Structures are given as structure tokens and as C-alpha cells.
Structure 1
């Protein structure tokens, strides 16, 4: 799991690595219906962030991210995330693998 450092009552620092990205991919793959919107959004929008420094909250795609943390970062007014480019590249690859199935889930809901 990601390392969460609570700086004070308003601030947290999050550190995550490739194992955390793999955990997110596994969770998404195990619950594609639940995370379909996050999967599709992350895959489609990550290019806008050059596949790194993706902001999960920019497109309301943080359900999977928050599951990884086991805390609600919205309870803090400030948080930073320290991860390598490899974290985001791994996450993107996993979302790419799940994209078609997630897209089908979203289309079946829209009917």
C-alpha cells in the first residue's frame, strides 16, 4: 500500500511505487464494473499529463486511487504525491489492458 505521511491536520504526503500501481490494476481488474469510469477516464486523459503527474481529481476519477490509500485525501486541504514516472506508466498500461471491457460496461449502463 502507498505510504501516507500525515504532516499535520491539513496536510498529507503520499508516496507510491510500482507495487501500488499493480495493486490498483489488480483491484480495477477484479471490479471492472465498479471502476469502469475511472479506468476509461485514466486511459483517455492520461496523455494530457504526458502520461505522468496525472491528477485523479481533475476528471473525477479518484475512486480507485482512494481505494489504494485506505484514507480519504479530500479530508485534507493539501496533499502531495511522490511517485516515479514508472508508477504512472505501469498504471497506464494496466488501464489500457482493461479499457475495452470497462468501455463496454459503461455502454451497457448508458442503455
Structure 2
């Protein structure tokens, strides 16, 4: 399980690894409607930051992180995710799949 620590009074550090991805998948698939907008932003922006430099806090895309890893960002000014590069690439693959699922669900509901 990921380690959550406060580096100083304003910075939260999330230390994650590949084993944490299963929990992200479970949370996102259980609550896809809740996270679909966040997933769309991550899907769009993460490649522009070479995946590993994406800032979840800057784009307000940390609700999935909070729910999955059970922490609260309300008292911090920044979140830094520290993980192996493979984590970010696999995370993005998961996000891409969830984005496609959410888009397909929306299209089906709209009758498209």
C-alpha cells in the first residue's frame, strides 16, 4: 500500500508502486460517473507532461487519489506522487481504458 506523508506543512507526498494500481482500478470502476471528468482531464493532459511529471494538484485531478488511498488534500498546497516510471505509464493505460469506457457509456446513454 502507498505511503502518505507530509513533507512540510503544505506538501503531501504519495509514495506509490505498481501494486497500488489495483486499488485505483477498483475505486474508479465502482464510481466511474463520479470520476469521469477527472479521468478525461488526466487522459488529455498527462501525455503533455511525459506522464511522469503530471501534476494532479494543478489540474484538480486528485479526488481519485484521495479516495483510493484514503487521504485528504484540504490542508495542503501541493501533492507530489513519487513512484517508479512504470507506475505512471501503467496508471495512464488504466486512465485511457477508463476514459474509453466512460465515453462509451455516455454515448450509449445519449443514444449515439
Question: Unpaired runs of 5+ in structure 1?
Answer: none
Matched, 1:96 2:96: yes
Moved more, 78-87 or 7-16: 7-16
1:66-105 paired onto structure 2 within 5 Å = 66-104=66-104
- Counterparts in 2 of 1:106 and 1:48: CA distance versus 1, 3 Å: farther
1:1-111 paired onto structure 2 within 5 Å = 1-7=1-7, 9-104=9-104
As a proportion of its length, which structure holds more helix? 1
Moved over 4 A (4+): 7-11, 104-109
Root mean square deviation of aligned Cα = 2.3
TM-score, normalised on structure 2? 0.78
Query: Within 2, Cα distance between the matches of 1:62 and 1:7?
Result: 18
Give the C-alpha shift of residue 61 in structure 1. 1.6
How many pairs align? 109
Query: Within 2, Cα distance between the matches of 1:99 and 1:76?
Result: 28
